[in-house]
Amino acid sequence: MPIRITKRAKANLALKPTDAIPSPEAIAALKKFKAPKFDQTVNVCMHLNIDPAQADQNIRGAISLPKGIGKSKRVIAFCGSDLVGKAKEAGAIKAGGEDLVQEVEKGFFDFDVAIATPDMMRVVSKLGKVLGPKGLMPTPKAGTVTPDVAKAVKEYSAGKVEYRADKAGNIHSIIGKMSFPDASLIENLEFFMHTIERTRPATVKGHYVKKVTVSGAMTPGVQVKFVSATAAE
């Protein structure tokens, strides 16, 4: 059966810019699209000139955007009994050691991020098969394996976002809500782009950032004209 395009989608496609435009104009274009009745999440997708199959080009990390993302996250912390209180004070919905591991093994997955201290990974590792496929396994690359549990819990509870290159070399991230002021979305977008720019592997030749697109949850994508923060790009 042919795909039915809604009136809103047709109207938005007619408003979509045809060329890559600067960040301020791209965000302004998003705001002009006909919107649904909820506050849409705004996303960015960066297409990079990388080969994620190569270990040094499998880009992954986490970032706290200057204007936040408009929502908090549910965080749990795997840590020793001496750190449980600090983790909960920082915003963890649950904190513990082997007892929390057992709870997850029994099916508790009502959380968005899992933090762990390095010494706890010996027991948390057994959860790899259940947390790995869900993207919830703590990892040093994302800053979710750290001795400073309280700091990590606080950052992720406030909306710190993880990013990871997919097989096609794309990196996706939330940069806020459509209700954010234009200036806040622009600041988050440019901060994210330049953060990713700084992760450029030494083995990448030629242009690193091939394409950048921003979109709302239910809008067309708008291509952003990427401006390098360095003279090398």
Place of tokens 């791209």: 26
- Pick from 222, 231, 226: which is nearest to 49 by CA? 226
Give the residue from 54, 58, 31, 56 showing the smallest Cα distance to 42. 31
Name all domains of the chain by residue range, CATH numbers in brackets: 15-68+161-224 (3.30.190.20), 75-157 (3.40.50.790)
Question: How confident is the prediction along the chain (233 residues), in pLDDT tens digits per residue?
Answer: 556 778 888 888 888 888 999 999 999 999 999 988 899 999 999 999 999 999 899 998 889 899 988 878 899 999 999 999 999 999 999 999 999 999 999 999 999 999 999 999 999 999 999 999 998 999 998 889 999 999 999 999 888 888 999 999 999 999 999 999 999 999 999 999 999 999 999 999 989 999 999 999 999 999 999 998 874 44
> Rounded CA gap, 105 and 29, in Å?
46
The three-class DSSP label of residue 58 is: coil
pTM tops 0.85: no
- d(CA 105, CA 107) in angstroms, rounded, equals 5
